Amino acid sequence: MSEDNAGVGVMVGGARLQEEGGRGSEDNAGVGVMVGGAGLQEEGGRGSNPAEGATSPPTVYRVYRRRWMVLTAVVLLNISNAGLWINIAPVAYKAASYFDVSLSDVNWFSLVFLFVSIPFCFIATLSVDQLGLKPAIQIGAILNSVGAVTRAAATAGLLPKQAEFPVCLAGQVVAAMAQPFLLFIPTKVSQSWFPETSRALSTTIMSMSNPLGILVTQVVSPLLVTEMKQIPILNYVFGGLAIFTQLVTLVCITRSKPPTPPSHSAERGERDRAPYMQQLKDTFTSPAYLLLVLGLGCGVALFTSLATVTQQILCPMGYDDVFSGVAMAVMILCGFVGSAVTSVAVDRTKAFTPIIKLFYACAAIFAVVMMEVRGRTQPSQYN
């Protein structure tokens, strides 16, 4: 008997936990749970009804191994898109020299994501609501790869020099359109594909992929671009990554949701979902939500500003591109550590509001400290 077809059954308090073999592909082996007439089963076998003479068959909730492929695709797409957003910022001076434009013009490579994401967040959420996860993610993947390829083509020497910057920026706009389709879906993916016991883990992994992409890009960009003529290489690398993630998406995401729901809440969410406009109305008429948006928006604004101009703050003081990239990467890494520590503290104390206030106050204080940083003694090439 193969490993996939081995089975173990346990009956606890009228609930049956069973690993049940099935014939077929890797997706057809797994774990099933039936509780109170409802079952959770990893795909591969038929659920059984422990109640004799039941008038209706129980609902069988199954979790599929393909869920990890879906998660992998979403993670890679967010890493790629985050890299496209921020990869010019760590080498802003060299990019300005390459395109023969000002630093303010170069900053639009980052800022355009913020402006475009506002209207497209509504388009993306409506697409997920009306079309499902698969079409929405595929739209995001296509926009991401088209934007990246446009940027790469703009600096491939095929266009007049004066046309490279506007075409490259146009590609950045297309990539920015992809962000809401990719960044806002982790909770929906977790609800549709993962059981309640692992939703927190899956949502965390997908949500952290965007800052992970920023962290890696802050370090990689200065290493790839040591002189201004290497800006095209940067575009080629991230263009290749975008194409790769597009192919991974085509292979890994073949449907919007599994054939059977992974949990009762997932089934109920699909059945009891309110119309999209009603959801918007409920959201934007909630004072608590609007207050949360204001606070979170200020925090994201501070982080985004620092991610965009860290090089422009540090390099004129005598530091190089690599140091400024590492400085930003360290800040993000500390955020990872802080989020892990905070999650444990919040879970134990339930002191959500005091902890949020404490960390916002710390962010404001250390932002002021960073503004007062002293430069190095040697002259800078960026002065």
Q: How far is 173 from 143, CA to CA, in rounded Å?
A: 9
Residue 110 confidence (pLDDT) above 90: yes
- Nearest to residue 150, comparing CAs of 188, 176, 180? 176
- Across 138-177, b (16+ Cβ under 10 Å) vs e yields bbbbbbbbbbbbbbbbbbeeeeeeeebbebbbebbbbbbb
Angle at 41 between CA 39 and CA 43, to 5 degrees: 140
User: Which residue shows structure tokens 């940027």?
Assistant: 151
Q: What are phi and psi of 8, to 5 degrees?
A: -135, 130
Report, as an integer, the average pLDDT of 122-142: 94
pLDDT tens string 50-72 = 444 445 566 677 888 899 999 99
pLDDT tens string 286-314 = 998 998 888 888 888 888 888 888 888 88
Would you say 247 and 257 are in contact if contact means Cβ atoms under 8 Å apart?
A: no
Q: Inter-axis angle of helices 133-154 and 108-131, to 10 degrees?
A: 150
**Confidence tier at 29 by pLDDT (50, 70, 90):** very low
Question: Which sign, positive or negative, has the C-alpha torsion 126, 130, 132, 136?
Answer: negative
Q: Note the pLDDT of residue 56.
A: 54
User: Which residue shows structure tokens 């404490």?
Assistant: 358
Q: How far is 266 from 30, CA to CA, in rounded Å?
A: 19
| Bridge partners for 16 per DSSP | 11, 34
Report, as an integer, the average pLDDT of 236-249: 97
Q: How far is 228 from 91, CA to CA, in rounded Å?
A: 9
pLDDT tens string 147-180 = 999 999 999 999 999 999 999 999 999 999 999 9
* Average pLDDT over the chain, rounded to an integer: 82
Would you say 110 and 307 are in contact if contact means Cβ atoms under 8 Å apart?
A: yes
Residue 214 confidence (pLDDT) above 80: yes
* 115-124, 183-192, 331-340, range with the lowest pLDDT: 331-340
- The alpha-helical segments, DSSP class H, found in 87-156 are 92-99, 103-106, 108-131, 133-154
**Confidence tier at 24 by pLDDT (50, 70, 90):** very low
Q: How far is 125 from 128, CA to CA, in rounded Å?
A: 5
Architecture field, domain 66-371: Up-down Bundle (1.20)
Q: Note the pLDDT of residue 335.
A: 86
Residue boundaries of the structural domains of the chain = 8-63, 66-371
Residue 199 confidence (pLDDT) above 70: yes
Q: Report in angstroms the alpha-carbon separations of 51 from 12, 34, 35, 141.
A: 14, 11, 11, 46
pTM of the model: 0.79
Most confident of 237-251, 315-329, 350-364: 237-251
